[in-house]
Amino acid sequence: MAANGADNMVSMEAQMQTVADVFLGDFFFEQMLFFFITFATFFYI
Protein backbone atom coordinates (compact mmCIF):
# COMPACT_ATOMS: atom_id res chain seq x y z
CA MET A 1 0.00 0.00 0.00
CA ALA A 2 2.86 2.34 0.80
CA ALA A 3 4.39 1.82 -2.64
CA ASN A 4 1.04 2.49 -4.30
CA GLY A 5 0.64 5.70 -2.34
CA ALA A 6 4.13 6.79 -3.34
CA ASP A 7 3.33 6.15 -7.00
CA ASN A 8 0.16 8.22 -6.70
CA MET A 9 2.15 11.03 -5.09
CA VAL A 10 4.68 11.00 -7.91
CA SER A 11 1.88 11.19 -10.49
CA MET A 12 0.24 14.06 -8.61
CA GLU A 13 3.58 15.87 -8.38
CA ALA A 14 4.17 15.52 -12.12
CA GLN A 15 0.63 16.70 -12.87
CA MET A 16 0.94 19.74 -10.62
CA GLN A 17 4.29 20.68 -12.15
CA THR A 18 2.70 20.45 -15.61
CA VAL A 19 -0.16 22.68 -14.49
CA ALA A 20 2.34 25.18 -13.07
CA ASP A 21 4.28 25.18 -16.33
CA VAL A 22 1.21 25.68 -18.50
CA PHE A 23 -0.75 28.23 -16.46
CA LEU A 24 2.05 30.10 -14.71
CA GLY A 25 5.35 29.48 -16.44
CA ASP A 26 7.06 31.05 -13.44
CA PHE A 27 10.39 29.40 -12.65
CA PHE A 28 10.48 30.68 -9.06
CA PHE A 29 6.95 29.50 -8.30
CA GLU A 30 7.72 26.13 -9.88
CA GLN A 31 10.78 25.72 -7.65
CA MET A 32 8.81 26.71 -4.55
CA LEU A 33 5.97 24.35 -5.48
CA PHE A 34 8.43 21.50 -6.06
CA PHE A 35 10.13 22.19 -2.71
CA PHE A 36 6.79 22.36 -0.90
CA ILE A 37 5.55 19.10 -2.44
CA THR A 38 8.85 17.35 -1.71
CA PHE A 39 8.86 18.56 1.90
CA ALA A 40 5.18 17.71 2.37
CA THR A 41 5.73 14.22 0.93
CA PHE A 42 8.76 13.64 3.17
CA PHE A 43 6.87 14.93 6.22
CA TYR A 44 3.82 12.80 5.37
CA ILE A 45 5.95 9.65 5.10
Q: Mean pLDDT, to the nearest integer, of 24-30?
A: 68
Whole-model pTM?
0.34
Contact 16, 29 (CB under 8 A): no
* All structural domains of the chain with their residue ranges: 2-44
Strand ranges (E), 1-45: none
What is the pLDDT, as a whole number, of residue 3?
57
Residue 1 confidence class, pLDDT cut points 50, 70, 90: very low
What's the gap between Cα 23 and its chain centre? 15
Burial group, residue 33, by CB count within 10 angstroms (0-12, 13-18, 19+): middle
What is the pLDDT, as a whole number, of residue 5?
57
